[in-house]
Amino acid sequence: MSTLAQREETGSPRFEGSPPADGIPFKGNPPLLSDRNPAHSDDLTLADRCSSPPQLIQVFSELGVEGLLVEYEDMFPYGGELQLLQATAQPAYSREDLLLLQDCARSAGLEVIPLVQTFGHMEFVLKHQSMLHLREVPHCLGTLNPHKEEAVKVVLEMLRQVVELHPGVRTLHIGADEVYLLGEGEDSRRWLASPGRTVEQLFLDHVTKVARAVKEAWPHVTVIMWDDMMREMSGETLKACGLVGLVQPMLWDYNPNLDVEQTVSLLEKYSGAGLSELWAASCFKGSTAVDTCVTCTQSHVDNHLQWLKVAASVSAAVNLKGIAITGWQRYDHLSVLCELMPVALPSLASCLQTLIHGHFGHEAGSRVKELLGVSSVEVEAMERTAADDTRFPGRRLAESIVEISFLLNSEELRFFENNKYAAALQQKAAAVREEMLRFYPDATAQEWMEEHVGPVMTPIQRIMEEIGACVNTQ
């Protein structure tokens, strides 16, 4: 099976840094993977300058990543009528950026798999005034109205531009997860009023239309899609839906306590319905909590241990092609930034070694420490260093984030019992911002500080100013 790394950082999708997104670095041959193990990176509106693409991709390759599952969202350089989709808070990637990324990946032996949302999680498209009429319901930014011919044209044009900027692409992910409120729009209600029509059919009709269009335009391209909207469907419904032979479902579950029996049952159902080529999707960052700053390696390793149990339990009829090790930068386009890539590298390395060894013991842990030059697989427990290390891009930033997170969660600071904590927080905040600017655009650094430091720092500064005013009036 193969291992893909996926997406991470910005304000839109889910791969860390857009060219190389930060949540899924660009998301062995672990026992769970049969030919590819891609790492996923989701840009979600945040271009990652975290070292040059060659250095970061080389690190991924050395860690055991075999491909990059990249979700660009609004960091892709869309042109023509779709140019309005490009991020405005910071420049989107240029065409040259993305060609360089692919060249670097190719040199390292990694396949680049673009991920383009085509149904749900369309916030970066449907937030625009000129696209409001393409929503399923007015108050939901994420779900496309599948009845609008213009909506389908927008999706197909997005796919065309992405594929054309990925010459030689072999695999394309069309998303289609979490299609919230489908069936509740006026057009859908009218459509569903006809006897025998269901929301399941409505979903399947749209993704089948998109998948067929992809195969007609690029017959050589393999199409992957998320599976969650099909989990409650019967085997008979799936068998008759038209997706058989068109798509390869990717089952995602990031829970450290993943239900092995239930997941095996799902895989067997899909396979029995003719969807026999399947993928798994685990997670190395961005799934613990919406505003988590520091990655917990153990939690993500546990998720991979559960996936190994799944792989060992399925029948021979299930062709589990690989696992995408996803790394999310945001929960959705409008959410705050999750863990940045540097704090998650030990987790990614540990998850890969778990798959390669089939467990996570002393040998796997030692290999992670050797590969990254660290004393612990938990970023919070690593010995601090004054210098950066080419084996661990962004190490000083990771250490600074750990330190400021400790201060932000300090009881002494929150109850303002000791002024030295306030002073330490101010100093550390300045240091984190300075270090972050080495890797990320100013807009990203500013957003991170406002979201994670501002809620604590601002009230303290106000109190200190009031205390100073009182002292000066005496």
Count of all residues that appear for the chain in the document? 474
Instruction: Enter the tokens of residue 80.
Output: 């023509």
Is the CB of residue 440 less than 8 Å from the CB of residue 432? no
Write the CA distances from 330 to 9, 223, 258, 290, integer angstroms.
6, 24, 21, 7
Close Cβ partners of 361 (under 8 Å, ≥ 6 residues apart):
none
Write the CA distances from 50 to 11, 272, 398, integer angstroms.
17, 44, 11
Which residues make beta-bridge pairs with 114? 70
Q: Name the phi and psi angles at 182, rounded to 5.
A: -60, 135
- Alpha-carbon gap, residue 410 to 416, rounded angstroms: 10
Query: Taking the alpha carbons of 11, 13, 14, 15 in that order, is the dihedral positive or negative?
Result: negative
Please identify which residue in the block is written with the tokens 């988590």. Answer: 292
Helix axes 53-63, 95-107, angle to 10 degrees: 30
- Alpha-carbon gap, residue 389 to 170, rounded angstroms: 34
Q: Where are the alpha helices (DSSP H) in 137-256?
A: 149-164, 186-192, 199-217, 235-239
Q: Which amino acid is at 162?
A: V
Please identify which residue in the block is written with the tokens 């531009």. Answer: 161
Close Cβ partners of 69 (under 8 Å, ≥ 6 residues apart):
4, 5, 6, 7, 15, 24, 27, 38, 39, 40, 41, 113, 115, 173, 324, 326
Candidates 178, 378, 380, 451; catalytic one? 178
* Catalytic site includes residue 178: yes
Buried b / exposed e along 388-416 (16+ C-beta atoms within 10 A): eeebbbbbbbbbbbbbbbebbebeebeee
**257: number of Cβ within 10 Å:** 10
**Residue numbers annotated as active site:** 178
